[in-house]
Chain A
Amino acid sequence: MLDSTDTTDRIAEILADHAGLEGPLLPILHAVQVSFGYVPQSAVPQIARALNLSKAEVHGVVTFYHDFREVPAGRHVLKLCRAEACQAMGADRVAASVKAALGIDWHETTPDGRVTLEPVFCLGLCACGPAAMVDGRLVGRCDASVVAEVSE
């Protein structure tokens, strides 16, 4: 666990790495999320100061995009595609089984912190649906047994 000085230092490094980019906020937020697993509240004023933006503007961007987390995710992140091509292959049934098996709904994390379940609208695997992403790994033609991959 990083203490607050470490957090500040790491964000300062990220800001320095992105100096000179045109429109640097999204690349910075992605880098912060890669480093910390989420975008810590304390990062917002620091980023705002560096980019000459208001805290409200940075907060607005963080909350607009589905990718940016304000709290850490579970140890595993399971994303299931909810879009039409996957629906045509039974994605809704897979999602219902997975939710029942994990005992959580979309955007929730199991109480033991093991899995966060998220919807995704298209992974570009529309000819081999239903599609899923398990900790960044793509899965085609998935079924309810995909929960076994996040059992540890």
Chain B
Amino acid sequence: MKIYIPLDSAAVALDADVIAAEITAEAIRRGVAVEIVRNGSRGMVWLEPLVEVATDSGRLGFGPMTLADVPGLFGDLAAHPKAQGLVEDHPWMRGQTRLTFARVGVIDPLSLTDYEANGGLAGLRRAQAMSRAEIVAEVTESGLRGRGGAGFPTGVKWKTVSDAPGDRKYIVCNADEGDSATFADRMLMEGDPFTLIEGMAIAALACGATKGFAYIRSEYPIAIRVMDAAVLIARDAGVLGQQFDMEIRVGAGAYVCGEETSLLNSLEGKRGVVRAKPPLPALQGFLGQPTVVNNVISLASVPVILAKGAAFYKDFGHGRSRGTVPLQIAGNVARGGLYECAFGLTLGEIVDGIAGGTATGRPVKAVQVGGPLGAYHPRSDFGTAFGYEDFAGQGGLIGHAGLTVFDDSADMLAQARFAMEFCAIESCGKCTPCRIGAVRGTETIDRIARGDTDAIPLLTDLCNTMKAGSLCALGGFTPFPVLSALTHFPDDFARAKEAAE
């Protein structure tokens, strides 16, 4: 009997380890031989812990599992109260186009054999037979853009590094996934770490780099453990170590280190302070050498592009947003989790359809798209298609494709204040608009909360200064949540004044 129990952080946070121990104990009590595989998560977080039993007809899912549901796994599976049927046939799975996440939840994350048997290393093998320029051209042609949020074409960045003169070049994976509502990087690293390693190895071939780093945030202990183990396995198997090797580095709790230049400073052992650009990291990055800095999902999308070709990948998507995007649906939702699909679904299709509205059953008031630096969108934006340009056109951004849903109990003035407070806490301190602006922003919103509506134009003006004058996205984009809250939910900013009158 083969049973899959996720090792994914979300499953573990919902007691997957306890369920795993109980299944082992129950199997011993019954004298049944059980092989337990700790897989990644399928992304259906509302069903976690989702346990799968391998059968002749496929993998049957059971969830959300409790201790009381364990004995039933050894009886009539069809009659199990938590039976979800074949996992592959679940509507959540059937609706997706899983390219980057094809193996996540399917394979044993630390089995290189499983990885290869499911299409792994095909991209790297093809890249090894290509010239540097051909690999770069393939990635450029695919239309892949940075999935960390900025949306910069990955192939163009690689070309800059590939063409740059330098004794040593580096591939740095930005796995400092600090935005609330985002967990795709974590799920990929926990569920299919070799995909990231393969993507970095292909990037190294394309750019002539010999050394790589994955900078993983310290808040992700399971991802760190899995990636550490995967690097050792890949090195033993010769995937790493000859032309290219890599190290796992751990962050230290600074949100701003998700910004590429402060990440590089942090890797060098400095304070995670933002660097002015130029020089671009592509020309002078880690230790002053040409460096690719890419998000986990950007790098992890490269193996499938090389394996199946640029045209295959580019065929998905809409407008200038090509390929697929792993949506991360979070906050107050009935069905939260990871859903990979081509760009182009509307916000309403995602929130009302896929996510099934709120967990509390109350109406959706706002959806913050793109993490703490993303705008709050009202229902009137629900027709917006999910793409880089589409959201920019609505005064927002898609960022790392995280969506936080709020029901009608949310106080948007409080959310705007939190955005400023967060910026003040996490500001690296290098530029004045962010360092001081965020503190003044918090104070100004407090004035509005006390009924002083004269402070509203001041807040708008301050936001414009932060937007125009900040060095990086932390100070520059904090105005998105603040101004969108103010624009779309003015009643929440006038309540104190009404009360006072």
**Contacts known (A84-B181, A125-B183); A26 close to B329, Cβ less than 8 A:** no
CB pair B272 A126 closer than 8 Å: no
Residue pair B336, A126 in contact (C-beta under 8 Å)? yes
- Mark interface residues in B372-411 (1 if CB within 8 Å of A CB, else 0): 1000000000000000000000000000001011110010
Q: How many residues of A contact B (CB 8 A)?
A: 42
Quick one: closest A residue to B332, CB to CB? Answer: A88
In the assembly, what is the distance between CA of A128 and CA of B330, in Å?
A: 8
Tell whether, in the assembled complex, residue B269 and residue A136 are in contact, meaning their CB atoms are under 8 Å apart: no
Q: Which of A7-15, A62-70, A94-102 contacts B (4 or more CB under 8 A)?
A: A62-70
- Asked if B71 is an interface residue, CB under 8 A from chain A, the answer is no
Q: Is A144's CB within 8 Å of the partner chain B? A: no
Q: Which residues of A contact B273 (CB under 8 A)?
A: 64
Known: A84-B372, A88-B404. A26 touches B269 (CB 8 A): yes
Residue B331 CB within 8 A of the other chain:
yes
The contact of A65 among B179, B254, B418, by CB within 8 Å, is B254
Separation of A127 and B252 alpha carbons in the complex (Å): 24
Using a CB-CB cutoff of 8 Å, which residues 59-85 of chain A contact chain B? 60-61, 64-68, 83-85
Among the interface residues B271, B372, B422, which one has the most CB atoms of the partner chain A within 10 A? B271
Q: Is the CB of A85 within 8 A of B180?
A: yes
Contact with A along B313-332 (1 / 0, CB 8 A): 00000000000000011111
Let me know if B115 is at the binding interface, CB within 8 A.
Answer: no
Interface residues on B, range: 35 or more
Are A125 and B13 within 8 A (Cβ)? yes
A114 is an interface residue with CB less than 8 A from chain B: no
On whether the beta carbons of A122 and B180 are closer than 8 Å, the reply is yes
Taking a contact as CB atoms under 8 Å apart, the answer to whether B252 and A126 are in contact is no
Stretch at the interface among B74-82, B214-222, B448-456: B214-222
Main secondary structure of the interface of B (DSSP, over half): mixed
> Closest Cβ of chain A: how far from B481's Cβ, in Å?
8
A136 to B252, CA, bound (A): 14
- The answer to the question of B186 belonging to the interface, with a C-beta cut-off of 8 Å to chain A, is yes
A64 to B286, CA, bound (A): 20
Residues A126 and B219 in contact in the complex (CB < 8 Å), given A83-B372, A138-B12? no
Expressed in whole angstroms, the Cα–Cα distance for A79 and B297 within the complex equals 27
Separation of A128 and B183 alpha carbons in the complex (Å): 11
CB of B483 within 8 Å of the partner chain: no
Contact between B45 and A127 (Cβ–Cβ < 8 Å)?
yes
- Complex Cα distance, B32 from A61, in Å, reads 54
| Minimum CB–CB distance for A72 against chain B, Å | 17
CB closest chain-B residue, reference A51: B269
What residues on B are CB-neighbors of A57 within 8 Å?
270
Q: Which of A23, A126, A133, A136 sits near B267, CB closer than 8 Å?
A: A23
Contacts A23-B267, A27-B250, A125-B183; is A85 near B331 (CB within 8 Å)?
yes
Q: Is A40 an interface residue (CB 8 A)?
A: no
Q: Hey, what's the 0/1 contact readout for A17-57 against B, CB within 8 Å counting as 1?
A: 00001111111011000000000000000000001000001
B421: nearest residue on chain A (CB-CB)? A82
Do A66 and B183 have beta carbons less than 8 Å apart? Answer: no
Question: Do B254 and A64 touch (CB < 8 A)?
Answer: yes
Tell me, rounded to whole Å, the shortest Cβ–Cβ distance linking B499 to chain A: 21
B415 at interface by CB-CB < 8 Å:
yes
* Chain A residue at smallest Cβ distance from B218: A67
A138 touches B13 (CB 8 A): yes
B287 at the interface (CB under 8 A from A): yes
**Cα-based distance from A61 to B251 in the complex (angstroms):** 12
Assess A66 versus B181: contact at CB under 8 Å? Given A61-B270, A128-B10.
no
Cα-based distance from A88 to B249 in the complex (angstroms)? 31
Chain A residues, Cβ within 8 Å of B220:
123-124
Asked if residues A121 and B422 are in contact (CB atoms below 8 Å), the reply is yes
Q: Which A residues touch B45, using CB under 8 A?
A: 127-128
* CB-defined contacts of B179 to chain A, threshold 8 Å: 122
Q: How close is A58's CB to chain B, nearest CB, in angstroms?
A: 9
B333 interface contact, C-beta 8 A: yes
Give the contacting residue for B182; candidates A22, A66, A126, A133; CB below 8 A: A126
* Chain B window 225-268, contacts with chain A (Cβ cutoff 8 Å), 1 for yes, 0 for no: 00000000000000000000001011111110000000000111
Query: How far is A88 from B14 in the complex, measured between Cα atoms in Å?
Result: 18
Q: Are B331 and A89 in contact (CB under 8 A)?
A: yes
A60 to B: closest C-beta gap in Å: 5
Chain B 405-429 near chain A by CB (<8 Å), digits 1 or 0: 1110010000100100010011010
Pair A128/B48 contact, Cβ less than 8 Å: yes
Whether A126 pairs with B402 at a CB distance below 8 angstroms is yes
B142 at the interface (CB under 8 A from A): no
> Are A84 and B368 in touch, CB under 8 angstroms?
yes
Decide if B270 touches A89 in the complex (CB within 8 Å).
no
Task: Kindly list 6 other residue pairs between chains A and B, CB separation below 8 angstroms, not including A29-B252, A128-B14.
Answer: A67-B253, A84-B418, A88-B405, A123-B9, A124-B10, A133-B219
B-side residues, CB < 8 A to A, are 9-10, 12-14, 45-46, 48, 177-183, 186, 211, 218-222, 247, 249-255, 266-273, 286-287, 328-333, 336-337, 359, 368, 371-372, 402, 404-407, 410, 415, 418, 422, 425-426, 428
Closest 9 CB pairs of A and B: A25-B269, A127-B336, A83-B180, A140-B13, A126-B330, A65-B252, A88-B331, A66-B253, A127-B45
A-B pairs with beta carbons under 8 Å apart, 24 shown: A22-B268, A22-B287, A23-B286, A25-B270, A26-B249, A30-B250, A60-B271, A64-B254, A65-B272, A66-B254, A67-B253, A85-B180, A85-B181, A87-B331, A87-B415, A87-B418, A121-B255, A126-B182, A126-B404, A127-B330, A138-B9, A138-B13, A138-B221, A140-B14
